[in-house]
Amino acid sequence: MSRRPVLVPVVALLSVSGLGVTAGTGGLNDRPDSPPKQYQPGATIDQKLLKTQFVKAVDIAEGDRHAVELVLKVTNEGDQTESLGAMATGAKVSRYGRLGTTILKVTPPLGPPDTYPQIGVVSHGVRSYQLHPGITHTVVIRYDLPPGATPPDKVTVDVGGFVEEPISRRDPREYWQIEPDKDLPTGAGDEMELIEPKVIAQVTLPIRPEEA
């Protein structure tokens, strides 16, 4: 007497297979974060609110003093004028920062300890601090080095991005904020809490002497 084949539901097979994969890998949520992507001069980083091209790093020599200027081309992808914002000054930043806040770190450090670079939009010799919608602006970030110090051969910039998220549970307005490494705090009263930003890219720029 012939036996009938035993039919096992496909869903059951998939469930068992899925359990085996999860157990073997320790669970999908346990995978370490991928390192930030690496970029070279001329790369454009999509920060969501802004698109920022890292054009070059320039050594400005003035007597025995040197400064390093990072030259960027920045396009405001939003629908309203944005300020440049304050530069990042530590491991945690304001979630409401703008372009300056997304320049998270430079390696090696430039400038004396406890000093911060200057940032400005440069157009026809005029400096301003606003990024208008749909326009590409030239932005210069200047690091003044200590007297007698010379710049390194290259510098690596840690770059952050933006997310458009509700401010908090009690303030559900969608607002462009600095992309966090984990999650934005959403509790009532947490609106001003500093966050650890996510590094979305690292750009390495050779430092060249200023052209005459």
DSSP one-letter string for 110-161? -SSTT---EEEEEETTEEE-EE-BT-EEEEEEEEEPPTT----SEEEEEE--
Residue 212 counted as domain residue? no
In a domain, 10, yes or no: no
Percent of the chain residues past pLDDT 90, beyond the cut: 72
| Containing structural domain, residue 102 | 37-207
Contact 48, 163 (CB under 8 A): yes
In a domain, 79, yes or no: yes
13 occurs within a structural domain: no
In this predicted structure, the answer to whether residue 170 has a pLDDT above a threshold of 70 is yes
Q: Average pLDDT, stretch 186-208?
A: 95
Alpha carbon 106 to chain centroid, angstroms:
12
pTM score, whole prediction: 0.83
| Residue 95 is assigned to a structural domain of this protein | yes
pLDDT of res. 212:
55
Quick check: is 3 in a domain? no
Number of domains in the chain: 1
Burial 70-100 (b: 16+ CB within 10 A, else e): bbbebbbbbeeebebbbbbeeeebbbbbbbb
Q: Would you say residue 157 lies in a domain?
A: yes
pLDDT attached to residue 7: 40
Least confident of 21-25, 84-88, 151-155: 21-25
Span 5-33, pLDDT tens digits: 444 333 333 333 333 333 333 444 445 67
141 located within any domain: yes
Average pLDDT over residues 183-197: 93
